[in-house]
Amino acid sequence: MFVRKKVVKGGDYYQLVESRRVDGQPRQKVLLHLGPYETVEAALKGWSKDIKRLRRQARRERERLRQDVPERREPFPFERDMLKKAENAERKAASLANKLGRLRGIVAQRNGEAPEGEA
């Protein structure tokens, strides 16, 4: 297992890759996309921070809406946009949390440990 660097227009991008031989030929399988994080450790640390930031952002947007929008009226278009931002942040946080769990499972398996929650 190793981290492979890909160069794209927006900058460098990293992937966690496993190498195997199939019919005597080397084959690489992408286990997980690490995005801008160069190492597994950086991804573990960075994703945890990103998840907290996204959840905090979603919570702030929803709190602002609760304060500004009385329940008796429809939200204005800009308020609906705020709600969409909150929903998008929550969706991204959930996706990252899923990837973080998968990465922790891969690391635990690699170290011969039981994945979290399977003791």
> How do the pLDDT tens digits run along the chain, 119 residues long?
899 999 988 889 999 999 989 899 999 999 999 999 999 999 999 999 999 999 999 998 888 877 766 666 676 777 788 889 999 999 999 999 999 999 999 999 888 876 555 54
Residue 70 carries which DSSP code? -
3-state helix, strand, coil in the chain (%, to 5): 55, 25, 20
Query: Which region, left, alpha or beta, applies to residue 4 given φ > 0 means left and ψ of -120 to 50 means alpha?
Result: beta
Q: What is the model's pLDDT at position 110?
A: 85
